[in-house]
Amino acid sequence: MGYKAYVFDAYGTLFDVHSVMERIHDHFPDKGEQISQEWRSRQVHYFLVRQLVQGYVPFSDITHWALKDALRYSGASVDSDVTEDLMKQYEKLQPYKEVHDLSDRNPDKTLTIFSNGTRAMLEPLLANNQLESSFDLLSADDPKVYKPHPKAYQHAQEELGFEKDEILFFSSNPWDITGAASYGFHTAWVNRNDDKWPELGI
């Protein structure tokens, strides 16, 4: 298949969401892993709930709420200075080792990030990792609908200007792969943790 565009999810696919763990540990020794895991789990849960009730809010709000609840659940204090510091760390997530080479290895492809994150979250993330020239950027905040809703992928396709079968979509998140595949994109599951594909009937 002669794909014209490679489209990538950001969080968990190109960038390690748990690279915040060391900073969390600075504030809460011995709680870094628990808080990081809870933060990510609640972030995904909360935006899915908001999507189901058609109550869109920016992903930055979701991420902030998920952090505060993760801290409370883990028995850590919820201090505004600490939460602000940890939120800033989301703009400094570490890319996986192969990410910096993607544009050089695929000079004939359009490389685009399509994320639930807002542009205000994603643009500093790319800049802090010297990746702003490597990827075009699409955000679900523009149509105000989260992946995995089909309207989110429709927005991405319309912005890209390619046919569905000319797009290969990469994500580490099964819910994202499920949404993209259901919409009609070709997909590649970036299985970073050697997980079993969930029984979703897809």
pLDDT per residue as tens digits for the range 151-177: 999 999 999 999 999 999 999 999 999
- Residue 9 is among the residues annotated as catalytic for this protein: yes
Q: What percent of the chain has pLDDT over 70?
A: 100
Residues making up the chain, counted from first to last: 202
What is the C-alpha to C-alpha distance for residues 27 and 15, in angstroms, rounded to an integer? Answer: 22
Q: What is the arithmetic mean of pLDDT over 7-33?
A: 96
Structure token pair of residue 46 = 């909360």
Residue 2: per-residue pLDDT: 85
Per-residue confidence band for 200, with pLDDT thresholds at 50, 70 and 90: confident
- Which structural domains are found in the chain, ordered by start? 5-15+93-189 (3.40.50.1000), 17-89 (1.10.150.240)
Q: Which residues of 12-41 are buried (b: 16+ CB within 10 A; e: fewer)?
A: bbbbbbbbbbebbeebbeebbebbbebbbe
- Average pLDDT of the chain is 96
- pLDDT exceeds 70 at position 1: no
The answer to whether the CB of 176 falls within 8 A of the CB of 9 is: yes
Name the catalytic one among 9, 16, 141, 176. 9
Residue 202: per-residue pLDDT: 85
Nearest residue to 62 via CA among 35, 42, 89, 34? 42
Nearest residue to 116 via CA among 95, 97, 137, 141? 141
Structure pTM? 0.95
- pLDDT exceeds 80 at position 123: yes
- pLDDT exceeds 80 at position 44: yes
- pLDDT exceeds 70 at position 79: yes
Nearest residue to 153 via CA among 19, 145, 122, 172? 145
Planar angle of CA 201, 146, 11, nearest 5 degrees: 85
Question: Under 8 Å CB-to-CB from 56, ≥6 apart: which residues?
Answer: 50, 144, 145, 146
Q: What is the arithmetic mean of pLDDT over 82-90?
A: 96
